[in-house]
Structure 1
């Protein structure tokens, strides 16, 4: 097949690699424009552009893909199909109509659950035990197109969004190849999504990472695991930001107010429902990541110091 590939992040690289390895003719790779990043504002390529250049594939980087000129450039490639994985711009209907087999998206959830920009993070932050990938036909809606194929995977109790994302990127690559084969053979019957079962996974915001200490320990632990690497789970300690990198629910009851620190064999914080959460690794603003025990020692913590403000609105955990 003649394929136009649209993608930007690291998650999209395995699928591009798989398409190339399978022998498909990738006529153009579309990715976001180069941007200055980091403290030095060094101009860097997207992971997908790096991959495309390594395979000597043509790269197209329009500022806005909805512009007529961009659509005309891609339509002139006469691709059989387009594949999009985390591209980062909304695709116009004119582009959706430009290839005979349309545009296929690899989405990192079991649609119609978790439509939106951050399905991996929200799956974990909301305590899901199973997630997966879906190939779907792109339409004008937000992840509302017909489902082609799906593949599920369990979420381990200690896995982070980085762990699950890496696995899903390869699961999605394999599923996309099966999808291309099935479409070529007219062997896939697209299934409409049931909108009544849809949930959303919106773009993450800084405030989504604010820890609500009045939530149960497991719910907070899920937020710690899910919202990595950004925005991260964070709270306030002595009026300054404190990030929690790793945690573990403790099988110990307490009658302390949520957010109260407890020093025992490690560093713990009281949560809702009379539970404790062990803070395994934390990071104060401008400091390195350290174990909870080392943080307690370095800060000369005393019992009953408080973290955060439990009334601050944070992520939906239910």
Structure 2
């Protein structure tokens, strides 16, 4: 059996955890983990470590959290470790050329789309928003571009008709770990050819903003259905009821065309809020009033009175 690769792992959020777990369970030697600095989170603004840091420290792996990865001192730190390969999974910053070419095998990335589709920061969310029925994981040889490197391996998975970005995120994180393990095994055996991307087929997946969640009810119910699922759990889709922001979850397309203006609530009962859209209608099953927790619409209606004809703006 070949000896394991000497790897520096670069990753920060929950999505990267299964990939690191896979490497820790395999034959490879994790020299160090590089992740973003601890951040303030929650209403209490408490400093919290990234999930990848917690896992690395639990296994006694050295953790590096540089404010910048473009310094000579950080480059020298990595060079002293003499890695065979960098494995990058949702690290959060673009790697400079000096780091990409430091290890003999370069750097590979676990990307949550079937490249060249959905290059960028939010590939999972945009796949759901755009109504895709399939996505997957791509193991890519990193280059200086944004997700433009050669494809080493890909694995596809269907997107469920009601699946949210958050649910898909969890599945793809696991698939990423499994695909990475297979790819590194083939890489060691010299059986992992690189295939250049067809750049003419590329699409982008830019970072989302909170403002993108403000629903335009003139869109079709199908488009709204995809948008709400794609923005769940963050930044989430919302509208205004009685001038207060309400976030909407668990949508269902209802083949019902009404004469009501888009955004009009046609029915409010234990089954949900039935709201007119540009084409057909949308039933909302869960809601989060401003300043409160997410809840079933049936629970929400016990404390408020919503009459047909009320508008969501």
Normalising by structure 2, report the TM-score: 0.95
Q: Does structure 1 retain, via aligned residues, the 8 Å contact 2:268–2:306? A: no
The residue number in structure 2 matching 1:231 is: 235
- Give, in whole Å, the separation in 1 of the partners of 2:203 and 2:185: 30
Q: Does 1:142 align with 2:135?
A: no
Instruction: Summarize deviations over 1:24-82 as a string: whole Å, max 9, x none.
Output: 10001001111121111111110000010111101111001111211111121110001
Select the residue among 61, 68, 83 that pairs with 1:64: 68
Instruction: Summarize deviations over 1:183-239 as a string: whole Å, max 9, x none.
Output: 212211111111110011101111111111111112111111111221101111122
- Give, in whole Å, the separation in 2 of the partners of 1:259 and 1:290: 21
Q: Does structure 1 retain, via aligned residues, the 8 Å contact 2:265–2:273? A: yes
The residue number in structure 1 matching 2:274 is: 268
Choose 259-268 or 222-231, whichever is displaced more: 259-268
The residue number in structure 1 matching 2:300 is: 295
Instruction: Summarize deviations over 1:142-200 as a string: whole Å, max 9, x none.
Output: 00000000000000011111111111111111111111112212211111111110011
User: How many equivalent pairs are there?
Assistant: 307
Q: Structure 1 residue 296: deviation in Å?
A: 4.1
Q: Does structure 2 retain, via aligned residues, the 8 Å contact 1:131–1:153? A: yes
The residue number in structure 1 matching 2:225 is: 221
Q: Does structure 1 retain, via aligned residues, the 8 Å contact 2:268–2:308? A: no
Q: How does 1:129-278 map to 2 (within 5 A)?
A: 129-263=133-267, 265=269, 266-273=272-279, 275-278=280-283
Q: Structure 1 residue 251: deviation in Å?
A: 2.6
What is the root-mean-square deviation in Å for CA atoms of aligned residues?
1.2
Q: Does 1:285 align with 2:290?
A: yes
Unaligned 5+ runs, structure 1: 309-318
Q: Does 1:89 align with 2:93?
A: yes
User: In structure 2, the residue corresponding to 1:110 is in which secondary structure?
Assistant: coil
